[in-house]
């Protein structure tokens, strides 16, 4: 078992001063390479639209425990993160997706009633450790292939695969949306933004990069819709339209796109603020994630149900 140690990460894995997510860059590349991916996303959006018309009581949906595999891909001893660091990241995911994080109390009053338990939890079932000569991975999924210095995922239909490695170009992480090719499905996190101990570096040392990227994995978009103006949208009714990403630790309210008086919901996990400034998913985001779970990732639910029957 890897021991807990204080580790210093080389420059290639060091976090940038502002959050950079590579999910959309990876997403656009996959859309071009795999035409079926676009069709699968269209079907999922159709199912999501139907679900919005006949909403369910989210407090009554079953709790789904997602089997999770963590792949540690390292070029230095420091990047070979310890078991305690992996456990710290799983703890954060479980708190954030079950809305038991204590800092939810910092959500501004207008949105406090929107904080919602996704009723999704995560169980670590396997850890792989792969040495590499790659000095920093990009968003082209090289870390997911042995031929390019990484390791292939394990059973992506029934498990969340999460890679930890040094990412270049200031990227903190990226994820694949539902419906993409199984050979690359999962989430990748920069070694310096993973968990809460070890190599985790402020201001991204509270495990929220994984919360953000797993949100993408369950079909959540950035709250500004990835447009540099007010024309975009994230497909979620209860996140206010906003002009673009927020960074750092903004002062509330921050008003854009005529969204006053409450302004941008920068405390949402799907914005770009520092870890210590994001605290919540909304009810409609949870509805969107649950639809993705049931429609786009049903194998995760089947595995969870089978595990419950064995107990």
- Sign of the Cα pseudo-torsion (164, 182, 225, 61, in order): negative
State yes or no: cis peptide before 287, omega within 30 of 0: no
Q: Give the whole-angstrom CA distance, residue 39 versus residue 292.
A: 14
- Which entry of 45, 126, 213, 294 is annotated as an active-site residue? 213
Task: Decide: 274 and 204 in contact? Cβ < 8 Å.
Answer: yes
- End-to-end alpha-carbon separation of the chain, Å? 27
User: Can you give the length of the chain in residues?
Assistant: 311
Q: What is the CB neighbour count within 10 angstroms for residue 193?
A: 31
What burial class does residue 27 get, using C-beta atoms within 10 Å of its C-beta: 0-12 exposed, 13-18 middle, 19+ buried? buried
- Catalytic: 213? yes
**34 contacts: CB under 8 Å, gap ≥ 6:** 180, 181
| Residue in the structure block whose two tokens are 């996704």 | 118
Q: Give the whole-angstrom CA distance, residue 40 versus residue 52.
A: 19
Q: Give the whole-angstrom CA distance, residue 174 versus residue 212.
A: 9
DSSP assignment, residue 178? T
Which positions are catalytic?
A: 213
């Amino acid at each position: 078992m890897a021991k807990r140690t204080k580790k210093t990460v080389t420059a290639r894995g060091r976090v940038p001063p502002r959050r950079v997510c590579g999910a959309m860059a990876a997403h656009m590349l996959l859309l071009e390479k795999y035409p079926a991916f676009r069709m699968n996303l269209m079907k999922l959006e159709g199912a999501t639209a139907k679900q919005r018309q006949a909403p369910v009581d989210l407090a009554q949906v079953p709790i789904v425990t997602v089997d999770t595999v963590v792949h540690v891909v390292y070029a230095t001893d420091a990047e070979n993160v310890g078991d305690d660091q992996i456990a710290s990241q799983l703890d954060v995911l479980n708190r954030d997706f079950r809305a038991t994080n204590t800092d939810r109390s910092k959500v501004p009053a207008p949105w406090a009633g929107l904080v919602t338990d996704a009723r999704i939890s995560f169980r670590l079932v396997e850890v792989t450790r792969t040495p590499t000569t790659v000095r920093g991975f990009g968003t082209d999924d090289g870390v997911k292939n042995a031929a390019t210095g990484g390791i292939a995922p394990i059973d992506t239909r029934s498990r969340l695969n999460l890679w930890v490695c040094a990412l270049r170009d200031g990227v903190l992480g990226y994820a694949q949306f539902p419906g993409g090719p199984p050979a690359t499905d999962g989430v990748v996190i920069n070694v310096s933004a993973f968990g809460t101990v070890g190599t985790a570096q402020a201001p991204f040392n509270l495990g929220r990069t994984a919360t953000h990227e797993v949100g993408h994995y369950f079909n959540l978009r950035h709250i500004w819709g990835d447009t540099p103006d007010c024309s975009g949208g994230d497909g979620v009714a209860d996140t206010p339209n906003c002009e673009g990403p927020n960074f750092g630790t903004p002062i509330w309210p921050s008003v854009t796109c005529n969204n006053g008086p409450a302004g941008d919901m920068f405390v949402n996990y799907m914005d770009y603020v520092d870890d210590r400034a994001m605290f919540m998913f909304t009810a409609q985001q949870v509805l969107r994630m649950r639809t993705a779970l049931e429609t786009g990732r049903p194998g995760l639910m089947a595995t969870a149900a089978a595990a419950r029957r064995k107990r």
